[in-house]
Amino acid sequence: MIEKLIRPNIKGIPPYVPGKSKEEIAQEFGLDPEKIIKLASNENPFGPSKTAIDAIGTASSKIAVYPDSVARDLIAELSKYLGIKKEQIITGNGSDEILDLTVRLFINEGNEAIISTPTFSVYESLIKIASGTPVFVPLKLKKHGFKYDTHGILDNINEKTKLVFICSPNNPTGNLISEEEVKKILERETIVLIDEAYTEFCGSSLIGLINEYENLIITRTFSKAFGLAGLRVGYGIACKKIIDYMFRIKVPFTVNTVAQKAAIAALKDRQHLKTTIETTKKGRDHLFVELSKIDSIKVYPSNANFLLINVKNTGKTAGKIAERLFKNGIITRDCKNFRGLDEYHLRVSIGTMEENLKFLKEFRHICQ
């Protein structure tokens, strides 16, 4: 009966595949979870600011009452941090919620959304759930890594196009889009969503365009550089009109009290953020240089806290390599589920220096 009642367009949508957890791997391979290192979901290996953890303790006494549904204090703090007016910011249960709100605002049956592949799979799922049509424009692979195909995107914009997704830095390829390229897309009559989940690691942002283009939405998160993935806080920045519409359709109370307080504390601790970014970039550069020395693989330059590796010339699939790494207590991400990538791509998140070195040692051994 359920199969008969369910909306037909939902049936072909696969569930989201997250990176494996330490507990899963510990159980599967009989390992001590404490000794496992997770480099699979681009989290912050240094954890959140200590002041955020303290704020969680304090806020826990307030959980008998509903949270502030519009997260006033958090939005005020974000406004100061970003230099953007409060009425141009909305918070959500992870940036995933802002992606969902965007799709629900703009996509109807028959509408098209442009997605550059490979990228974060949630965009495609949301469009399909909304009965829209994803139009895929592959990234171009150049000598120095992946690049957005801006001409391809522009060529595919037509009267059915309502939304263009740009992920910058892109997950899993790590490349950026330039301001010049984005402006060409923004000149068209479509919403452009720029997902800046990893922006802190690249040192640049397209937020400066927000007051120039009313069709621009930028999403950001506390899950990566701020180390609060488990609390689920993200935010969107757009013109006041879009933010007002988002509030109209948003389910209330999705960002809980503890998460709001922790995010405020995390925002205020600039030193922790700075240390996280600097250490991660140092680790990324070191890992990139060392991986580049392995003849049988190709590592792509990245502006984020992860690196994408092509392992085809090792003669092993990324799945096989990931499995060998699992057995040694290291969790990485086999990218075969990313549309546009084959079974020979592995993504590794940047961990602490110690974790990076452990990964490097085992990975080198497996590739030889």
Ligand X SMILES: Cc1ncc(COP(=O)(O)O)c(C=O)c1O
Footprint on this chain of ligand X (rule: CB under 6 A): 42, 94-96, 120, 167, 171, 195, 197, 221, 223, 229, 234
Nearer Cβ to ligand X (94/351):
94
Nearer Cβ to ligand X (88/171):
171
Q: In whole angstroms, how close is the CB of 354 to ligand X at the nearest point?
A: 23
C-beta of residue 220 within 8 angstroms of C-beta of residue 34? no
> If 0-12 CB within 10 Å is exposed, 13-18 middle and 19+ buried, where does residue 104 land?
middle
Q: What are the residue ranges of helices labelled H in the chain?
A: 2-5, 22-29, 50-59, 72-82, 95-106, 122-129, 150-156, 179-186, 240-249, 257-268, 270-292, 318-327, 353-367
What residue is closest to ligand X based on CB? Answer: 94
Query: How many CB atoms are located within 10 Å of the residue 8 CB?
Result: 8
> CA-CA distance, 8 to 310, in Å (whole number)?
36
Tokens of 168: 């910058």
Cis status, amide bond into 118, omega within 30 of 0: yes
Nearer Cβ to ligand X (197/331):
197
SS3 344: coil
List, as one string, the DSSP characters of 260-286. HHHHHHHHH-HHHHHHHHHHHHHHHHH
C-beta of residue 315 within 8 angstroms of C-beta of residue 343? no
Nearer Cβ to ligand X (20/316):
20
> Which residue reads 């993200």 in tokens?
234
Q: In whole angstroms, how close is the CB of 199 to ligand X at the nearest point?
A: 10
Nearer Cβ to ligand X (49/91):
91
Q: In whole angstroms, how close is the CB of 10 to ligand X at the nearest point?
A: 21
Q: In whole angstroms, how close is the CB of 296 to ligand X at the nearest point?
A: 28
Nearer Cβ to ligand X (139/367):
139
Nearer Cβ to ligand X (135/228):
228
C-beta of residue 156 within 8 angstroms of C-beta of residue 149? no
Q: In whole angstroms, how close is the CB of 1 to ligand X at the nearest point?
A: 33
Nearest Cα neighbor of 30 from 338, 305, 264, 327 is 327
C-beta of residue 116 within 8 angstroms of C-beta of residue 149? yes
Nearer Cβ to ligand X (120/148):
120
> If 0-12 CB within 10 Å is exposed, 13-18 middle and 19+ buried, where does residue 327 land?
middle
Q: In whole angstroms, how close is the CB of 42 to ligand X at the nearest point?
A: 6
Q: In whole angstroms, how close is the CB of 361 to ligand X at the nearest point?
A: 26
Q: In whole angstroms, how close is the CB of 248 to ligand X at the nearest point?
A: 21
Nearer Cβ to ligand X (229/353):
229
> Which residue reads 């009559």 in tokens?
189
Q: In whole angstroms, how close is the CB of 305 to ligand X at the nearest point?
A: 10
Nearest Cα neighbor of 191 from 157, 240, 150 is 157
